[in-house]
Amino acid sequence: MNLKTLPVLFATTFLSGICLAQTTQPAVVEDFKPSLLNQPGQEYPQVNSQGYARFRVKAPGADSVRVSLGLGGRGGTRLTQAADSMWFGTTEGPMDEGFHYYHLTVAGGIFNDPGALNFYGSIRWESGIEIPAHDQDFYALKEVPHGNVQQVLFPSKSTNTSRRAFVYTPPDYYNDKSKHYPVLYLQHGWGEDETAWPNQGHANLIMDNLIAEGKIKPFIIVMTYGMTNEVKWGHMKDFKIEAFQTVLTDELIPYVDTHFRTIAKESNRAMAGLSMGGMETHSITLAKQGVFSQYALLSGGIYTPEELKDKAKPSLIFLSCGSRESPDRLTQAAAKLKEAGYPVVVYVSENTAHEFQTWRRSLYQLAPLLFKN
Amino acid sequence: MNLKTLPVLFATTFLSGICLAQTTQPAVVEDFKPSLLNQPGQEYPQVNSQGYARFRVKAPGADSVRVSLGLGGRGGTRLTQAADSMWFGTTEGPMDEGFHYYHLTVAGGIFNDPGALNFYGSIRWESGIEIPAHDQDFYALKEVPHGNVQQVLFPSKSTNTSRRAFVYTPPDYYNDKSKHYPVLYLQHGWGEDETAWPNQGHANLIMDNLIAEGKIKPFIIVMTYGMTNEVKWGHMKDFKIEAFQTVLTDELIPYVDTHFRTIAKESNRAMAGLSMGGMETHSITLAKQGVFSQYALLSGGIYTPEELKDKAKPSLIFLSCGSRESPDRLTQAAAKLKEAGYPVVVYVSENTAHEFQTWRRSLYQLAPLLFKN
């Protein structure tokens, strides 16, 4: 199970919503279809070709029903009760392409939309909706050979539990049984867990498609839970990396290297993370030298030449974010890193915010750059 | 994703609730603790040592809140609004041990309990609650070597899709890379999907524990979605097995045999299913000779000597159900099968109904009987 950065998600969604509301909206096109993330047989929520979302909720005896998606400052989208007593409404403007977490406020309590599938984010299972994206082909389920996503329960002495990780193995892992693979350790964001990348992130489908098109050298991806030191959103300064660092580098990596056919070397090990997972990547790659050679922060901060000097030089630094975040900060950081001789790549996802469409695209951009040496 | 037999579940839960309500209830012991299946940090729902469940739901502007667990005839458990405006209530009697699906009716609409994790059942993701069982040790997460549960996307020409299966591989699968394993194909019930056995069924933990104790020869378990021909509950006569039979025997089994180290022989292949999955097991084992040698129906009907004559003799027939179902029917069927010379084992789970505790126990009883030859 697994979730992520809901507060930021909503913050940015709200901002873009407010912007849209201040301009003139185009007429709403009546071509609404059930969201791709609906539960089986459910007609609502729906999405139209412009990116508007429409909701229909049964709660005849509620005094109000709101949807958290839409105009943040004004409390999302308020539904109104129709003559048939169903609550009904459409977002005031089109939404960004890609995946959005949301929930309902029914009669003053927070519930999920019974029409939608659930995704772990903001330390709870939230409803999810998918606004079809112009570039959705790269994470579509296609008729290509598929890798597996394995649930692994690995022993963790430091936390005295069996901990869960998901391991993506590429399609040819089972055909060529002598082959060994590089490994990317890929972290979720705050409030999410290890289900985020395989579920809403489609990490496995992104890899399957890239491999089928011959665009990347196949590698393994390992995803585990990074919130070993629980902190509330807004209290990130209280976050201590040591507990998770121990789990990752002293327990999980040795387990993966003994249970999977990996190339167990620094040069063939990368770490990436989104949002809080980027913060973790930043801390751990700097603190644990000799483990990873390639670092990627997805909406998760920057590196400075000062932090990196006196350390082994990474063979890749990848920095990304959505265009609705702070791309200038990344560009400026990249210029300084380049000047200091570091191999840095910046990617900005157009017209997306601190949400999963940014990170799906970031993984798609990152994967071909990894393990080139 | 995956679910099951909710209608029957509730029917039987309600029956036992009604029985309890007609007798004098013991005083409710105030040792309630959060259910083991709560979302992170959630205090409610709670369960006490007697098996009572207690709920607390925020929906200040609702006209009513009900929980589907409890006394069926009277609409489950009605919550009452406390002075702090929270809806609060306790089941009228203790509930059966084990896992129960449930949902809330808030202001007349069906929602999940925001405190509980979700499990796929009755063609929707439902809330789940766990009543600690006296024998819960056999499916507990312990410090033993753990097998993996792999998500596999296999090509299916007959349905023109990539279909999902979960494959349990035992702990030593990765240590001894020359070893080949027997395979159990294990089906969920109506309204559930392939997530049921690994999630609420704990099939992987049951296997890990049995293997750690040396009680079974390790084998692989394959779980996939069996509702290729959608039917509404109560219309089981309309169910056509052919579509799923093709997926299972012509597509999935060959895929598993080429992608995993199986012993690809009838003698090392078993099929089992619960409820509707038992119906599927019954149909497919009879229709497709030469594929499976061991058959198990968990709350899923019986075999008769008439059906089996002129067919290859299975090396095991396993029939099980809960004591609150119809164990006499199984005992009578077993007597006839035995008389006709068939190797039959009957297992009745004490004090459980058409619910997952019956099937967890059934798998625990079945596993040591499989692949003995």
* Partner residues linked to A319 by β-bridges: A297, A346
Nearest CB partner across the interface for A59, out of B107, B141, B174: B107
**Contacting residues of A for B140, CB less than 8 Å apart:** none
Shared domain check, B323 and B299: yes
Q: Which residue has the tokens 């892992």?
A: A173
The b-or-e profile of A312-335 (16+ CB within 10 A means b, else e) is eebbbbbbbbbebbebeebeebbe
β-strand pairing of B161-169 with B220-224: antiparallel
Instruction: Name the 3-class secondary structure at A95.
Output: coil
CA distance B304 to chain A (A): 36
pLDDT at A71: 59
Judged by average pLDDT, the poorest of A204-213, B11-20, B191-200, B329-338 is B11-20
Residue A20, pLDDT above cutoff 70: no
CA distance A173 to chain B (A): 9
Cβ–Cβ gap A146/B162 under 8 Å: yes
Which chain B residue's Cα is nearest to A146?
A: B153
pLDDT grade for B368, boundaries at 50, 70 and 90: very high
Shared domain check, B160 and B126: no
B231 located within any domain: yes
What is the domain extent for residue B231? 138-369
The residues in B 44-63 lying below 8 A from A, measured between CB atoms, are: 57-63
Residues 6+ apart with CB under 8 A from B241: B229, B280, B283, B284, B287
Residue A73, pLDDT above cutoff 60: no
Residue B1, pLDDT above cutoff 50: no
The residues in A 127-166 lying below 8 A from B, measured between CB atoms, are: 141-143, 146, 148-155, 162
pLDDT at A238: 76
pLDDT at A2: 32
pLDDT at B175: 84
pLDDT at B235: 74
**Contacting residues of A for B252, CB less than 8 Å apart:** none
CA distance B365 to chain A (A): 24
> For chain A, what is the mean pLDDT?
91
Residue B6, pLDDT above cutoff 60: no
Q: Sort residue A83 into left (φ over 0), alpha (ψ -120 to 50) or beta.
A: alpha
pLDDT grade for B105, boundaries at 50, 70 and 90: very high
A368 close to A215: Cβ distance less than 8 angstroms: yes
pLDDT at B24: 60
β-strand pairing of A294-298 with A316-322: parallel
**Contacting residues of A for B153, CB less than 8 Å apart:** 141, 146, 148
Say if B180 is an interface residue toward chain A (CB within 8 Å).
no
pLDDT at B114: 98
Q: What is the ipTM of this complex?
A: 0.90
Q: How many CA atoms lie within 13 A of A372 on its CB side?
A: 11
Cβ–Cβ gap A151/B198 under 8 Å: yes
* DSSP for residue A105: E
Query: For residues A78 and A62, what is the distance between their CA atoms, to the nearest angstrom?
Result: 13
Instruction: Name the 3-class secondary structure at B11.
Output: helix
Phi, psi of A289, rounded to the nearest 5 degrees: -70, 150
Nearest CB partner across the interface for A143, out of B104, B111, B155: B155
Shared domain check, B178 and B115: no
pLDDT grade for A150, boundaries at 50, 70 and 90: very high
Q: For residue B297, count other CB atoms closer than 10 A to its CB.
A: 28
pLDDT at B10: 31
Share of chain A above pLDDT 70, in %: 90
Shared domain check, B249 and B309: yes
**Contacting residues of B for A55, CB less than 8 Å apart:** none
A22 located within any domain: no
Query: For residues A99 and A51, what is the distance between their CA atoms, to the nearest angstrom?
Result: 11
pLDDT tens string A226-239: 986 666 767 777 77
Dump the DSSP string for B77-129. Answer: EE-EE-TTS-EEEE-SSPPPSEEEEE-EEETTEEE--TTB-EEEETTEEEEEE
A286 located within any domain: yes
pLDDT tens string B278-307: 999 999 999 999 999 999 999 999 999 999
CA distances from B199 to A151, B128, B139, B166, B356 (A): 12, 11, 11, 11, 11
Instruction: Name the 3-class secondary structure at A80.
Output: strand
B228 close to B265: Cβ distance less than 8 angstroms: no
Share of chain B above pLDDT 70, in %: 90
Residues 6+ apart with CB under 8 A from A96: A13, A16, A51, A131, A324, A351, A352, A353, A355, A357
Shared domain check, A61 and A203: no
Cβ–Cβ gap A125/B155 under 8 Å: no
Cβ–Cβ gap B125/A117 under 8 Å: yes
Shared domain check, A172 and A111: no
Nearest CB partner across the interface for B110, out of A61, A114, A153: A114
A vs B: CB pairs below 8 A: 135
pLDDT grade for B74, boundaries at 50, 70 and 90: low
A9 located within any domain: no
pLDDT grade for A23, boundaries at 50, 70 and 90: low
Burial class (CB in 10 A: 0-12, 13-18, 19+), A240: exposed
Cβ–Cβ gap B64/A61 under 8 Å: yes
Query: For residues B316 and B327, what is the distance between their CA atoms, to the nearest angstrom?
Result: 19
Token pair, residue B114, equals 């925001």
Cβ–Cβ gap A111/B111 under 8 Å: yes
pLDDT at A132: 97
**Contacting residues of A for B162, CB less than 8 Å apart:** 141-143, 146
CA distance A347 to chain B (A): 30
pLDDT tens string B267-278: 999 999 999 999
A278 located within any domain: yes
Residues 6+ apart with CB under 8 A from B79: B55, B57, B65, B66, B67, B87, B88, B89
Say if A78 is an interface residue toward chain B (CB within 8 Å).
no
Q: Domain end: A81, A108, A132, which one?
A: A132
For chain A, the straight-line distance linking the first and the last C-alpha, in angstroms and rounded, comes to 34
Cβ–Cβ gap A64/B64 under 8 Å: no
* DSSP for residue A248: I
Query: For residues B236 and B18, what is the distance between their CA atoms, to the nearest angstrom?
Result: 27
Nearest CB partner across the interface for B57, out of A109, A117, A162: A109
Residue A224, pLDDT above cutoff 80: yes
Which chain B residue's Cα is nearest to A232?
A: B41
Phi, psi of A148, rounded to the nearest 5 degrees: -100, 155
Cβ–Cβ gap B40/A125 under 8 Å: no
- Angle between helix axes A356-366 and A203-212 (nearest 10 degrees) is 30
Shared domain check, B196 and B105: no
3-state helix/strand/coil string of A10-65: HHHHHHHHHHHHHCCCCCCCCCCEECCCECCCCCCCEECCCCCEEEEECCCCECCE
pLDDT tens string B120-140: 998 999 999 999 999 999 999
* Total-model pTM: 0.91
pLDDT tens string A192-206: 999 999 999 999 999
Cα-only R_g, chain A: 21
pLDDT tens string B15-38: 333 334 445 666 999 999 999 999
User: Long-range contacts for A91-94 (Cβ within 8 Å, ≥24 apart)?
Assistant: A91/A17, A91/A52, A91/A53, A91/A54, A91/A67, A92/A17, A92/A20, A92/A21, A92/A25, A93/A17, A93/A20, A93/A21, A93/A25, A93/A52, A94/A20, A94/A50, A94/A51, A94/A52, A94/A131
Residue B9, pLDDT above cutoff 70: no
Q: Domain end: A132, A165, A196, which one?
A: A132
pLDDT at A239: 79
Cβ–Cβ gap A151/B155 under 8 Å: no
Residue A4, pLDDT above cutoff 90: no
pLDDT at B75: 66
Q: Domain end: A114, A132, A150, which one?
A: A132
Question: How many separate domains does chain A show?
Answer: 2
Mutate to test the interface with A, among B153, B229, B232 (most CBs of A within 10 A): B153
The b-or-e profile of B267-296 (16+ CB within 10 A means b, else e) is ebbbbbbbbbbbbbbbbbbeebeebbbbbb
What does the pLDDT average to over A61-88?
88
B163 located within any domain: yes
Cβ–Cβ gap A150/B146 under 8 Å: no
The b-or-e profile of B21-44 (16+ CB within 10 A means b, else e) is eeeeeeebeeebebbebbbeebeb
Residues 6+ apart with CB under 8 A from A278: A187, A272, A296, A297, A298, A299, A300, A301
**Contacting residues of B for A104, CB less than 8 Å apart:** 111
B18 located within any domain: no
Cβ–Cβ gap A106/B59 under 8 Å: yes
Shared domain check, B42 and B181: no
B272 located within any domain: yes
pLDDT at A75: 66
Identity (one letter) of the amino acid at A223?
M
Judged by average pLDDT, the poorest of A59-73, A187-201, A329-343, B133-147 is A59-73
Query: For residues A47 and A28, what is the distance between their CA atoms, to the nearest angstrom?
Result: 11
Shared domain check, B89 and B155: no
pLDDT at A25: 63
Which chain A residue's Cα is nearest to B177?
A: A177
CA distance A74 to chain B (A): 19
Shared domain check, A170 and A125: no
pLDDT at A237: 74
pLDDT at A79: 97
- For residue B194, the domain's CATH number is 3.40.50.1820
Q: Which residue has the tokens 């003698």?
A: B267
pLDDT at A177: 83
Query: For residues A359 and A298, what is the distance between their CA atoms, to the nearest angstrom?
Result: 6
A302 close to A330: Cβ distance less than 8 angstroms: yes
- For residue A127, the domain's CATH number is 2.60.40.10
Cβ–Cβ gap B62/A107 under 8 Å: yes
Identity (one letter) of the amino acid at A311?
K
Cβ–Cβ gap B114/A124 under 8 Å: yes
Nearest CB partner across the interface for A146, out of B111, B142, B153: B153
What does the pLDDT average to over A325-352?
98
**Contacting residues of A for B256, CB less than 8 Å apart:** none
Shared domain check, B330 and B208: yes
DSSP H/E element including B277: helix B276-287
Shared domain check, A94 and A144: no
Nearest CB partner across the interface for B60, out of A107, A149, A204: A107
pLDDT grade for A296, boundaries at 50, 70 and 90: very high
Cα angle value B289/B293/B299 (rounded, 5°):
100
CA distance A270 to chain B (A): 23
Cα angle value B319/B366/B38 (rounded, 5°):
100
Q: For residue B83, count other CB atoms closer than 10 A to its CB.
A: 5
pLDDT at A230: 64
pLDDT at B234: 72
Mutate to test the interface with A, among B43, B146, B228 (most CBs of A within 10 A): B146
